[in-house]
């Protein structure tokens, strides 16, 4: 990390950690796919997670096979993680192929796993965000 001198200014847009690269892309892909395919506009707000939870529940009720949903759930979980990052000032962490969000209070959250729990009928991305400190 480089030091700044008093006359240098920093931009509000700091570079994202390397751990964010994949989940940020997965989230953006999910947003684009839903906008084009389902005409669902996701705006990275905590409120939008209510629609995501409902959509996952609807897909589960339609009987979609869990294996066919892996990429979709990964994208929706990453989207929820990005909402948490933006709402709380957290950051993405990764290790052993897994991705978590670390909130400023030091807690780790696994929104991708939570999206799979939602699909199984036992989770909520909206409540995960609320618990992580979002609105």
Contact, 82 vs 125, CB < 8 A? no
Angle, helices 125-132/70-88, rounded to nearest 10 degrees = 30
Query: What are the two backbone dihedrals, phi and then psi, of residue 93, each rounded to the nearest 5 degrees?
Result: -125, 150
CB atoms inside a 10 Å sphere around CB 66: 11
Distance (Å, rounded) from C-alpha 73 to C-alpha 13? 28
Alpha-carbon radius of gyration of the chain = 16
Average pLDDT across the chain, whole number? 87
Angle, helices 70-88/111-119, rounded to nearest 10 degrees = 130
Q: Calculate mean pLDDT across residues 106-123.
A: 96
Q: What pLDDT score was predicted for residue 39?
A: 85
Q: What pLDDT score was predicted for residue 26?
A: 96
Q: How many residues does the chain have?
A: 135
Residue 4 has pLDDT above 60, yes or no: no
Residue 8 has pLDDT above 70, yes or no: no
Q: What pLDDT score was predicted for residue 11?
A: 38
Q: Calculate mean pLDDT across residues 28-37.
A: 92
Confidence class for position 5, pLDDT limits 50, 70, 90: very low
- What is the separation, in whole angstroms, between the first and last Cα of the chain? 32
Confidence class for position 16, pLDDT limits 50, 70, 90: low
Residues 6+ apart with CB under 8 A from 24: 16, 78, 82, 92
Q: What pLDDT score was predicted for residue 97?
A: 84
Task: Read off the pTM.
Answer: 0.84
């Amino acid at each position: 990390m480089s030091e700044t001198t008093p006359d240098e200014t920093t931009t509000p847009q700091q570079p994202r950690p390397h751990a964010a690269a994949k989940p940020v892309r997965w989230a953006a892909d999910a947003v684009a796919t839903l906008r084009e395919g389902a005409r669902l506009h996701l705006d990275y707000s905590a409120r939008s997670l209510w629609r995501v939870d409902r959509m996952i529940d609807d897909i589960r009720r339609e009987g979609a096979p869990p294996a066919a949903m892996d990429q979709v759930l990964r994208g929706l979980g990453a989207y929820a993680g990005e909402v948490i990052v933006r709402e709380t000032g957290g950051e993405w962490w990764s290790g052993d192929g897994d991705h978590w969000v670390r909130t400023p209070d030091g807690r780790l959250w696994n929104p991708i796993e939570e999206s799979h729990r939602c699909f199984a009928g036992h989770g909520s991305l909206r409540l995960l965000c609320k618990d992580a400190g979002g609105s």
